[in-house]
Amino acid sequence: MAEPVTRIMAEPVTLDRHTSAVLIMDFQIRIVNNFASDPQGVVERAAQALRGARHAGIPVIYVVHRGGLLRADAPDVEVHPGVAPASGEMVVTKTKPGAFSTTGLDIMLREMGVDTIILMGVATSGCVLSTIRWAVDINYKPFVLVDACSDPDPEVHRVLTEKVYPRQGTVLTTQAFCRLVERA
């Protein structure tokens, strides 16, 4: 006799703009140009997500990588002009792949009352992977904007965003995120 099939209904995705922040990670000219599989597309989608977040009043925090080949004086390590920070937005500097380990980001977010982070980054297998894993370990609720992340290996991007990240948090498109924040 076959076992009965039980379906678990997914809860609707919600987002509280008062306890959320966007982390846009490693959207630096050199990183985007060398590690995004579709540099122009990922920048355009990230810019769309930034517009939606800003319109909803969700804080945006830039996380940039410095050190090694990414010296501070090299012009191509600046944030890509297509997603440049708006006046007053914070820029956090890191020296490792993830956004938490070499920064005071956790303290900053907690002081802001943030418990939900919306992640965008290049590369999906670098900064995004390191950040989501650390975030879950310290009890943040992560959202990953699947099409505002990119990786030099599209198959790695697919596996992470379809199989790994959904176990850690919420994965959605930029368009779905923008619709969600309109209601937040």
- Do the Cβ atoms of 61 and 20 come closer than 8 Å? no
Within a domain: 11 = no
Within a domain: 25 = yes
pLDDT, residue 126, reads 96
Within a domain: 1 = no
pLDDT, residue 61, reads 98
CA separation for the pair 38, 47 (Å, rounded):
14
Within a domain: 152 = yes
pLDDT, residue 10, reads 54
Among candidate residues 83, 81, 155, 87, the one with its CA nearest the CA of residue 121: 83
Within a domain: 167 = yes
Within a domain: 98 = yes
pLDDT (tens place) for every residue of the chain, 184 residues total = 444 433 344 567 889 999 999 999 999 999 999 999 999 999 999 999 999 999 999 999 999 999 877 877 778 899 999 999 999 999 999 999 999 999 999 999 999 999 999 999 999 999 999 999 999 999 999 999 999 999 999 999 999 999 999 999 999 999 999 999 988 7
Parallel, antiparallel, or unpaired for β 116-122 and 141-150?
A: parallel
pLDDT, residue 184, reads 72
Q: Count of domains in the chain?
A: 1
- Do the Cβ atoms of 120 and 36 come closer than 8 Å? no
Angle of the 39-56 helix axis to the 174-183 helix axis, nearest 10: 0
Q: Which helix (H) or strand (E) holds 56?
A: helix 39-56
| CATH assignment of the domain containing 175 | 3.40.50.850
pLDDT, residue 7, reads 36
The parent domain of residue 68 ranges over 17-183
pLDDT, residue 80, reads 97
The string of DSSP codes covering 2-40 is PPPP--PPPPPP---GGGEEEEEE--BHHHHHHH-SSHH
- Do the Cβ atoms of 54 and 154 come closer than 8 Å? no
